[in-house]
Amino acid sequence: MVDADQTFVIVGGGLAGAKAAETLRSEGFTGRVILIGDERDHPYERPPLSKGYLLGKEERDSVFVHEPGWYAQADVELHLGQTVVAIDPAAHTVRLGDRTVIRYDKLLLATGAEPRRLDVPGTDLAGVHHLRRLAHADRLRHVLTALGRDNGHLVIAGAGWIGLEVAAAAREYGAEVTVVEPEPTPLHSVLGPEVGQMFADLHAEHGVRFHFGARLTEITGQDGMVLAARTDDGEEHPAHDVLAAIGAAPRTALAESAGLALVDRARGGGIAVDASLRTSDPDIYAAGDVAAVDHRLFDTRLRVEHWANALNGGPAAARAMLGQDVRYDRVPYFFSDQYDLGMEYSGWAPPGSYDQVVIRGDAGKREFIAFWLREGQVLAGMNVNVWDVTEQIQRLIREGARPDQEALSDPSKPLESLLG
């Protein structure tokens, strides 16, 4: 039974942390809830940073998880602009950068991830950007506006989701865009070459130039400003600004210094947690981008850096902290919007894990569902400009379905008919 005198501390002021605080209160916890975030902004959602807000289609206030007054109304003690510098598991305390020490009974680490940095000369120039935080999006909106107005050039290192979404936004502003990517197709590590090529074609049709099979080696400039970006095959691309979109690294320094079990980078990194999101310390939990979950559905340890994982993982961790029986095994899900293409992806099927891709619909018109299969079993599905099918796709994955492939590829056959 949770005591009303207990203190639950949440480190991380993003979506996972904010939803965990909300869940603690909605589940009836009456003890202290302390939410600590190292940004000065209230907790916010990240998808708009590369989508609606970056495009200027959504207002800044629309990104916040709660109205600012909600935290006081819910009696959640909010510490903004504060960094936790140490955890003492034996004493059950966290220490802030201003030397404040806070005792906890249960602790949730929702520290998220941080953008990986380009390790090349020139990254200290004023025109080199990352996109992870609201302040980054604020700045990048101004940059894209100026590039579009002045016919400026943006070079993007990395053809992952962030790189492609920013490329689409930059083209909508009117900027010239070049994407440098070491793999042979965009999103290669997520979608594989079969579907990744479709995104290359989509962006090429909108004027994006790709330079595949290459990496940035230097960003050149003058008087602190970017002039060009050079690649390891000797090419030089004119640039007024450069975006580093080469992935994100889980923020595990606190957990490591506290002696918590981690997962090595080769296996995805992150804080190792069990199916209830508990770390190797029984009173410390982790959720969101930083948590590497013992995922029973896929029989592997899985770390997911997407909105839905933070949205659902924070509440799951909160319930586990309250002593409820939690088994966090949701099917991974994410979405993206680029130009007139909208898509949703469910499942987990990295290259090498599947042996077949089945297309249902018209890939040429970009109205289809792609399924990734291994020995006939559905591992993942992505619906492109086809809607209201996520539930059925996720059921196919969860049930380990091995549908008839002719029926799976036939849009006239309802997905429900393929379920057990």
**Residue of 24, 5, 6, 4 whose CA lies nearest to 324:** 24
Give how far the C-alpha of residue 100 lies from the chain's centroid of Cα atoms, to the nearest Å. 31
Q: In 3-state terms, what secondary structure has residue 234?
A: coil
pLDDT in tens, 104-129: 999 999 999 999 999 999 999 999 99
Task: Report CA Rg, the chain.
Answer: 22
**pLDDT average, residue stretch 210-232:** 97
Give how far the C-alpha of residue 190 lies from the chain's centroid of Cα atoms, to the nearest Å. 13
Output the pLDDT for position 420: 72
Q: In 3-state terms, what secondary structure has residue 397?
A: helix
Report the alpha-carbon distance of residue 399 to residue 331 in Å, rounded. 11
pLDDT in tens, 151-207: 999 999 999 999 999 999 999 999 999 999 999 999 998 898 889 999 999 999 999
Output the pLDDT for position 2: 63
Q: What are phi and psi of 153, to 5 degrees?
A: -110, 130
> Span 340-418: which CATH code?
3.30.390.30
In the chain, where the domains are located: 7-114+249-321, 128-246, 340-418
Chain mean pLDDT for the chain = 96
Q: What angle do CA 287, 289, 295 make, to 5 degrees?
A: 65
CATH 3.50.50.60 fits 7-114+249-321, yes or no: yes
**Residue of 332, 343, 354, 306 whose CA lies nearest to 192:** 354
Report the alpha-carbon distance of residue 281 to residue 94 in Å, rounded. 14
User: Which residues have C-beta within 8 Å of that of residue 69, sequence separation ≥ 6?
Assistant: none
Output the pLDDT for position 419: 87
pLDDT in tens, 25-43: 999 999 999 999 999 999 9
pLDDT in tens, 297-339: 888 899 999 999 999 999 999 999 999 999 999 999 999 999 9
**pLDDT average, residue stretch 391-410:** 96
Other Cβ atoms closer than 10 A to 74:
15
Report the alpha-carbon distance of residue 277 to residue 327 in Å, rounded. 8
Output the pLDDT for position 350: 86
- Strands 248-250 vs 284-286: parallel, antiparallel or unpaired: unpaired
User: Which residues have C-beta within 8 Å of that of residue 291, sequence separation ≥ 6?
Assistant: 109, 270, 271, 273, 277, 303, 313
Output the pLDDT for position 142: 97
pLDDT exceeds 60 at position 1:
no
For 190, the enclosing helix (H) or strand (E) is helix 188-205
Instruction: Assign domain 128-246 to a CATH class.
Output: alpha beta
pLDDT exceeds 70 at position 148:
yes
User: Which residues have C-beta within 8 Å of that of residue 234, sequence separation ≥ 6?
Assistant: none
| pTM of structure | 0.95
Same CATH topology for 7-114+249-321 and 340-418: the answer is no
